[in-house]
């Protein structure tokens, strides 16, 4: 029988994680936890909110797992730090992989991953620890996603691509195949990455321009 889960976080992502773990993975959510000085209410999503500093006292690692539901703040550093703290307390950090994701027999990921519905993860893909894949992405064969990367929705990672640790890739971004995205990169929404880029690169797509003519003058519409 799987252990009940304590979720670190009291934001929208924590609420979403609790929903998926319960509704799809059949896991019990025992409580939520955050740093004691950030607790504003002792209840969240119908569960108790407990100080992270004291969580082992009431919900220890012998009887509970812990999932860190934190977004990409500080280039995913906060999520990485809280995972390290939780592991230091002795907790196992489960991953959630949607039953509606497409994976193959060789699929494996690290701890504390959050992989939502409609992700297509092809064979020979390697996914590290603490990776978030929001819904609807394509991860091509022989690609690797580094620890604590965050990939938004409808991203196309082509075959043989390496995504560095702690990187963020925005909605509808696309990569060419067999390129390397360095660590701690930020790829903006709708961007095409055509060649390898070094660590800490920021790429943004040009915002949509407003045409000088009204839609009524467009031919074919």
**Domain end position, chosen among 94, 129, 148:** 94
Can you give the residue range of the structural domain that contains 155?
Answer: 95-201
Domain contains 206: no
Same domain, 109 and 193: yes
In a structure prediction context, what are the per-residue pLDDT tens digits for the chain, which is 221 residues long?
A: 899 999 999 999 999 999 999 999 999 999 999 999 999 999 999 999 999 999 999 999 999 999 999 999 889 999 999 999 999 999 999 999 999 999 999 999 999 999 999 999 999 999 999 999 999 999 999 999 999 999 999 999 999 999 999 999 999 999 999 999 999 999 999 999 999 999 999 998 876 666 676 756 766 55
Total domains, the chain:
2
pTM recorded for the entire structure? 0.93
Tell me the pairing of strands 114-115 and 96-97: parallel
Q: Which residues are annotated as a binding site for substrate?
A: 71
C-alpha span between 47 and 214 (Å, rounded) = 53
DSSP-based three-state secondary structure for 8: strand
Domain contains 87: yes
Q: Which residues are annotated as a binding site?
A: 71
C-alpha span between 132 and 50 (Å, rounded) = 24
Same domain, 26 and 51: yes
Same domain, 32 and 52: yes
Same domain, 84 and 108: no
Same domain, 176 and 187: yes
Same domain, 32 and 57: yes
């Amino acid at each position: 029988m799987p252990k009940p889960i304590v979720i670190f976080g009291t934001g929208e992502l924590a609420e979403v994680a609790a929903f998926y773990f319960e509704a799809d993975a059949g896991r019990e959510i025992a409580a939520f936890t955050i740093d004691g000085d950030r607790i504003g209410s002792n209840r969240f999503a119908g569960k108790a909110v407990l100080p992270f500093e004291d969580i082992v006292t009431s919900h220890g690692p012998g009887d509970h797992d812990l999932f860190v539901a934190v977004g990409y703040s500080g280039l995913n550093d906060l999520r990485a730090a809280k995972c390290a703290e939780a592991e230091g307390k002795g907790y196992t950090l489960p991953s959630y992989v949607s039953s509606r994701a497409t994976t193959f027999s060789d699929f494996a990921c690290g701890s504390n991953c959050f992989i939502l519905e409609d992700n297509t993860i092809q064979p020979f893909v390697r996914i590290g620890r603490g990776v978030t894949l929001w819904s609807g992405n394509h991860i091509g064969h022989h690609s690797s996603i580094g620890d604590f990367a965050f990939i938004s929705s409808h991203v196309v990672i082509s075959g043989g691509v390496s995504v560095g640790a702690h990187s963020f890739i925005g909605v509808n971004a696309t990569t060419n195949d067999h390129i390397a995205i360095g660590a701690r990169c930020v790829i903006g929404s709708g961007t095409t990455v055509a060649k390898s880029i070094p660590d800490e690169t920021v790429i943004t797509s040009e915002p949509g321009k407003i045409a000088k003519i009204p839609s009524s003058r467009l031919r074919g519409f």
